[in-house]
Structure 1
């Protein structure tokens, strides 16, 4: 993706006030020709960065949010109070729910025989995932609504994100099999003691656009410079040190500026290339690469 188009998308996100689910709809309307997964991934990245920068301020205002919540309850306002507060203060609903839960449990923590609060912190995430465990029924329902209206920080979204990642891992394996590649998966490599493993470690290297590939890693995200840099430091460089050069696939696209000209460690694509050349082992007595080409249309099957 060109930098100019990326900046247009980011500007829409930064200038939008309200819930991220509504921002996602705005992005789809503004950029109808861009894949929905790509837009959502960019929104996810930008909003999480924003929340990391401002969450400390929200923590300091926790008592204020609690007072507003209690006032709304006393006034018998309609359900969805916490969702409205999150929209008012531009904070993710589930993060608002966490702040309110922290305040609630701080005020209702059990007292010991000396009328002092017992030590030990409450795992807020447990109550966010299991709202029926919250003793206060009104608060429980309000927190539940936060998990419904939050499309970035909800436990349900976390499960969907994990499922999406697994779906694209399966897709990568299927496309590799269609191309006739011999490979080992993550489970096999971990079994033999590798702590950091790519999605696929090729038994026989291949050549793509003149670049030798020993491993393939797929990510179901859009990659800008910061995302790519984090993955490179935490994963790709380890793969390169152990296995040599490889291929990185960002299924939802990437910013063109992340590609370094002449990089010999890995190449970056947003699809599984089909114009590959297989390098047969010397033991087979064939030193010439065999070129394999598969129609691009086969690459669109995600199942």
Structure 2
């Protein structure tokens, strides 16, 4: 995707309701737009989290606050639970299972501070398409799907490989090839899969956290951004070949 198109889409894409219209307008797959939207919201939350904490009171309504301030409801729930005195581990457990709040001691504690919080957390986890346990599980399954597609492609090409769990190294790519593969005139020795859209921020983040390490250990490789990528990221690290899902179909 060209940067000028990406910037236009990024500025217009603010909710799930925008995806259908923008997909028709730009001819971009809905799955790609969903990935871009998710990344945009996650970045917004990271940048503004401290400000959100100041804006939200422990007695706030999760759903009303989420709609009013445009904050994902599970993030609102986490902030309120923190202000009610719950620690990080307990908050994670409550988000996964709001019925933990039925404990008599906890119910008594919440009776005055935020009596409807359990029902609102249930509603929040049902509607939050990024931070809810269901959304996180869907993201994990998308990652598995992408890896299985790449695995099937390698097997069709009769290219032998070792999977990440089989490699005795702390940081390893998803596929380490037993013999090199030539793609776009470059020999590659490994493949890393990402079930997301590859923009500059995502690419630089993973370049520092993963790809440079793989390059030092194994040589040049391929990064797969399944839901497409910005053309400009190809020039950031010349030892990497960048492909999207269409390459494997």
Question: TM-score if structure 2 supplies the norm length?
Answer: 0.88
Partner of 2:5: 5
Deviations 1:211-239 (A, max 9, x none): 11111111111011110001111111111
Shift of 1:259: 1.2
Shift of 1:121: 6.8
Shift of 1:171: 1.1
Partner of 2:22: 30
How many Å separate the matches in 1 of 2:229 and 2:48? 26
Query: 1:267 pairs with 234, 241, 244, which one?
Result: 241
Shift of 1:84: 2.4
Partner of 2:96: 129
Shift of 1:100: 1.9
Larger-Rg structure: 1
Residues 121 and 206 of structure 1: CA distance in aligned 2, closer, same or farther (over 3 Å): closer
Instruction: Say if 2:174 and 2:192, in contact at 8 Å, map to a contact too.
Output: yes
Does the residue aligned with 2:116 lie in a helix, a strand or coil?
helix
Unpaired segments of 5 or more residues in structure 2?
108-114
How many Å separate the matches in 2 of 1:67 and 1:86? 14
Q: Does 1:98 align with 2:72?
A: no
The alignment yields a C-alpha RMSD, in angstroms, of: 1.9
Does the residue aligned with 2:66 lie in a helix, a strand or coil?
helix
Instruction: Say if 1:175 and 1:272, in contact at 8 Å, map to a contact too.
Output: no
Mapping of 1:225-244 within 5 angstroms?
225-244=200-219
Instruction: Say if 1:12 and 1:27, in contact at 8 Å, map to a contact too.
Output: no
Q: Does 1:50 align with 2:30?
A: no
How many Å separate the matches in 2 of 1:264 and 1:58? 40
Partner of 2:135: 157
Partner of 1:72: none
Count of residues paired in the alignment? 236
Residues 55 and 203 of structure 1: CA distance in aligned 2, closer, same or farther (over 3 Å): same
Q: Does 1:40 align with 2:34?
A: yes
Unpaired segments of 5 or more residues in structure 1?
17-22, 70-81, 107-119, 274-298
How many Å separate the matches in 1 of 2:143 and 2:96? 21
**Larger relative helix fraction:** 2
Does the residue aligned with 1:258 lie in a helix, a strand or coil?
helix
Shift of 1:67: 4.1
Residues 99 and 271 of structure 1: CA distance in aligned 2, closer, same or farther (over 3 Å): closer
